[in-house]
Amino acid sequence: MANGWRFQPDPSASQGFKPVSSQPPTPLRLSIVNQFYPPDDDATGQFIQELAAQLVELGLDIRIFAGQPGSAFSTATAPALERWERLQIKRSRTTRFGSKQIRSKTLNGLLFFLHAGLQLVQSSWRGDVLLIASAPPFLPLLGYLAHLCFGVPYICLIYALYPDVAVALNVVRAQHWLVKLWDALNRQIWQKSSGIIVLSSTMKERAIAKCPQVANKISVIHTCADPNWIRPLPKSDNWFVRQHDLADRFTVLYSGSLGRSHEMETILKAAERLRDEPLQLVFIGDGAKSSECFKKVQKLGLQNCRFLPDLDPHVWPYSLTAGDVSVVSIAQNLEGLVVSGKLYGMLAAGRPIAAICEPHSYLCQLLKDAKCGSTFEPGDGDGLAEFLHFLSLNPHQAEQMGRSGRRYLKLHFTPQTIAQQYLHVVRSSLTAPSIPSLEFDSGSPPVDRSPSVSLPIGQRLRQAGLLSEAQIDRILALQKAAKKPLRFGEILVNQGILPAETIDFFATTLPPFDLLQSDCPLGYYLKFAKILNDRKIESILNEQHQTCLKFGEIAIQKGWISPETLEEILKKLKKI
């Protein structure tokens, strides 16, 4: 783990410091299984494509197994095998059924499950770690079976929490035998997994409520959007605006699925109240509720609503910037079961956000921290209408919210940032269960709860991510060749590798706390150990005031401390 997050001590913290490079580690092989992948336009496939590209940049070898496209705009089939230097994509040869009915989706999912299972029989496609996404929702079972048969560690990536979604949508009763069986399988799959990734803090709460034993395995990692691909674009420069005649009126944009998990009634109620105002609501997308919404608009005689079909993902940078404000929604009782995937693209577009969600939704805290919009409970069409009307009369404030939201995305939800978080979970899976997960949403930094073991100082520093094995071997060789006896730590200081304070901090089971108190902030200990200086601590504290992240998470994101170092320090602090 230490090699991937090589910690570079602050030069100003130790005079004469000279970093010592280590040999690059053997590339870790990660196999990702997800039913969707471009040219399929499904959002999960788009995300996996971006994630894979970033993980390749971080030094991983990636193998992806996916299905043939079922909803692509440009082609009905895709190559069975594509190869790049560190990325291989293999697709099932079976053509998917195009219907979006539940039965067709289930049949497509079952066929993909069988083909993916046959693929994983080949050892070259299992890799070192499996990342099994919940597309289709029962796919994580494949990771469990691969682990039983071949011993390969697997990570569950949960997009939506099933069977709870089906129960909440009244597709099946909560007491049905299938629901009970699925829940039992989920608990077994999660407990045997090396890690679980969910997309929001409320989804983590739901998962823990179903299976408390996996609380320390669950990491909250949001999806992302590339701010270099989706950029704020003036309406006057946007061809999509001209093509659909959106330039002359204040435009409220709903872009995404009009599905059963989305709250549409509140939006239509706001549209009815705003029917005489000079603004329009544009719905882009398709789904189970699209026909119902269209019929209601016709019944109410609303002239301020327009419906456009699903768009090719290549159009998103223009469609998402065609509105003046964007709306996202999660239906009643579905909080923690699903997330709003298009939110991140809307933040990148630099537009204010109106979110329809329950009061305990993760969206409430996110929009509050980002200072980019407001939230409304399902049914509060009047409140939503007032907010939209206010923004239409105050374009300067709308622009300010949009800029703030884009700035927040660039701090927290870029592909590079999200890939780093995935990398930590993947590497941690190779040492599970001793290293718990991170919660990058609003939880605590990683804490190693494994029992303390007496180790030589070199191994303690390696465990803390401060030394590599190559560096330890070099110091031991110098120690052996020295004309007079030298301690390991003395050589580290003499070579300028680490300051004496850092070595002393990790040299004992309990650090020298005679000058410290247990209620001191984390930054105080990091300064005491000469890992951070005042300038960096001040920078982190300033960013804390603008974000929902904790001190250690920001330090990790900035590359000033490794997760391993933070884990060891927190483990020591627990012993005070």
* Cα–Cα distance measured from residue 171 to residue 388, given in angstroms and rounded to the nearest whole number: 34
pLDDT confidence of residue 514: 41
Centre a 10 Å sphere on the Cβ of residue 484 and count the other Cβ atoms it contains: 4
CATH for 235-413 is: 3.40.50.2000
Cα–Cα nearest to 456, from 525, 517, 507, 395: 507
Higher-confidence position of 435 and 456 = 456
Tens-place pLDDT, residues 238-270: 999 999 999 989 999 999 888 899 999 999 999
Tokens of 93: 């040869």
pLDDT confidence of residue 574: 67
* Cα–Cα distance measured from residue 430 to residue 279, given in angstroms and rounded to the nearest whole number: 54
Cα–Cα nearest to 471, from 491, 450, 451: 491
| 429 — pLDDT class (breaks 50, 70, 90) | confident
Tens-place pLDDT, residues 132-154: 999 899 999 999 999 999 999 99
Residue length, the chain? 576
- CB-based burial label for 156 (10 Å; 0-12, 13-18, 19+): buried
Centre a 10 Å sphere on the Cβ of residue 148 and count the other Cβ atoms it contains: 10
pLDDT confidence of residue 436: 43
Sequence-ordered alpha helix ranges (H) in 371-487:
381-393, 395-412, 415-429, 457-463, 469-481
Phi, psi at residue 177, to the nearest 5°? -60, -35
pLDDT confidence of residue 410: 92
> How high is the mean pLDDT of the chain?
84
Phi, psi at residue 29, to the nearest 5°? -100, 115
* Cα–Cα distance measured from residue 395 to residue 390, given in angstroms and rounded to the nearest whole number: 9
Cα–Cα nearest to 197, from 246, 134, 253: 134
pLDDT confidence of residue 551: 84
Cα–Cα nearest to 374, from 336, 401, 349: 401
Tens-place pLDDT, residues 464-514: 888 877 788 788 888 887 777 778 888 888 777 888 878 877 775 444 444
Higher-confidence position of 125 and 401 = 401
- Report how far apart the first and last C-alpha atoms of the chain are (Å, whole number): 27
Given CA atoms 328, 330, 336, 341 in this order, what sign does their dihedral have? negative
pLDDT confidence of residue 96: 60
Which of 40-71 are b and which e, b meaning 16 or more Cβ less than 10 Å from the residue's Cβ?
bbbbbbbbbbbbbebbbeeebbbbbbbbbbbb
Which residue ranges does the chain devote to CATH 3.40.50.2000?
29-220, 235-413
In sequence order, which residues have a C-beta less than 8 Å from that of residue 491 and are 6 or more positions away? Answer: 475, 478, 479, 482
**Per the CATH hierarchy, to which homologous superfamily does domain 29-220 belong?**
Glycogen Phosphorylase B; (3.40.50.2000)
Higher-confidence position of 451 and 530 = 530
Q: Which 8-state DSSP code applies to residue 163? A: T
Which of 399-421 are b and which e, b meaning 16 or more Cβ less than 10 Å from the residue's Cβ?
bebbbbbbbbbebbbbbebbbbb
